[in-house]
């Protein structure tokens, strides 16, 4: 969908992916955050993760997103939580920003639910790794197939065969990029519902408030497709999770 549709659909969201507040907090624990840790968050949305972790754990860092709507929301959230001295937000195309990072300075590099910035999971990992300190941690949010979907599901969900994999296939993709999966936090059916269904209401309200919107017909089509694809296919076949990755550590050889 277009960036504008994305901004309308997620207008009432703070977290722009199917993870709950509790699981976002759990992810912070899983990632072993500590004061002064430096984080680069690519496609950072409204900055909820970076701002919350700065407030709760003393994390510092940079969030990058192309949307002026989400950028403004992230700046406002940093002010609301009183962490303007710890985080900053850049309005930029995340892949270009990552390519311009000089030095492996970040303890934590994240891309949560936006691996399209690198043309897919493996391309995005390739973008992230150069910015990561030697002992740093990657966080990647990515869909996966719970079961093999029927052919018609790909079109309905706006994806292509091979774009996502099963959990086992996703693990193989990580390993092909030279990183090791050390933890994960997965969404469930309820968190998918909360993420998707609340978008329907936001889109419906927009159409009612702006009947003269020149893109109203396209927005209505997007809304209709979002509802039917989630209920017919997404909830059954499509999972989502945040995967915690590190470069493999050398292990002493046994005798």
Between CA 20 and CA 249 the distance in angstroms is: 31
> From CA 204, how far away is CA 195, in angstroms rounded?
15
Q: Which residue has the higher pLDDT, 1 or 172?
A: 172
Dump pLDDT digits (tens) for 190-199: 999 999 999 9
Output the pLDDT for position 250: 72
pLDDT at 253 over 70: no
Task: Kindly state the tokens that stand for 125.
Answer: 């990992």
Q: What is the pLDDT, as a whole number, of residue 249?
A: 83
Summarize the confidence of residues 118-127 as an average pLDDT.
Answer: 97
User: What average pLDDT does range 209-216 have in this prediction?
Assistant: 96
- The pLDDT assigned to 102 comes to 87
Tell me the pLDDT tens digit for each residue of 33-79. Answer: 999 999 999 999 999 999 999 999 999 999 999 999 999 999 999 99
DSSP annotation of 147 reads: S
Query: Would you say residue 255 has pLDDT above 80?
Result: no
Cβ atoms 44, 91 nearer than 8 A: no
CA-based angle 212:214:217, to the nearest 5? 90
The percent of residues above 70 in pLDDT, for the chain, comes to: 98
With cut-offs at 50, 70 and 90, classify the pLDDT of residue 254.
low
pLDDT of amino acid 1: 55
| DSSP assignment letter at 164 | S
């Amino acid at each position: 969908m277009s960036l504008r549709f994305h901004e309308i659909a997620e207008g009432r969201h703070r977290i722009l992916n199917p993870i709950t507040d509790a699981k976002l907090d759990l992810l912070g624990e899983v990632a072993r955050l500590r004061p002064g840790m430096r984080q680069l968050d690519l496609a950072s949305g409204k900055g909820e993760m970076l701002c919350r972790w700065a407030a709760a754990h003393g994390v510092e860092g940079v969030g990058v997103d192309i949307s002026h709507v989400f950028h403004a929301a992230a700046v406002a959230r940093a002010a609301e939580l009183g962490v303007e001295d710890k985080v900053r937000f850049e309005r930029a195309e995340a892949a270009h920003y990552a390519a311009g990072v000089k030095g492996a300075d970040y303890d934590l590099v994240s891309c949560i639910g936006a691996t399209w910035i690198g043309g897919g999971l493996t391309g995005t990992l390739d973008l992230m790794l150069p910015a990561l300190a030697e002992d740093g941690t990657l966080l990647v949010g990515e869909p996966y197939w719970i079961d093999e979907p029927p052919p018609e599901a790909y079109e309905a969900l706006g994806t292509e065969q091979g774009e996502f994999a099963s959990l086992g296939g996703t693990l193989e993709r990580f390993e092909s990029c030279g990183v090791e999966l050390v933890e994960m936090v997965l969404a469930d059916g309820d968190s998918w519902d909360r993420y998707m269904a609340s978008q329907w209401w936001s889109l419906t309200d927009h159409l009612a408030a702006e009947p003269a919107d020149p893109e109203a017909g396209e927005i209505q089509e997007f809304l209709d497709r979002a509802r039917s694809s989630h209920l017919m296919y997404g909830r059954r076949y499509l999972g989502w999770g945040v995967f915690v990755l590190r470069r493999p550590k050398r292990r002493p050889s046994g005798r």
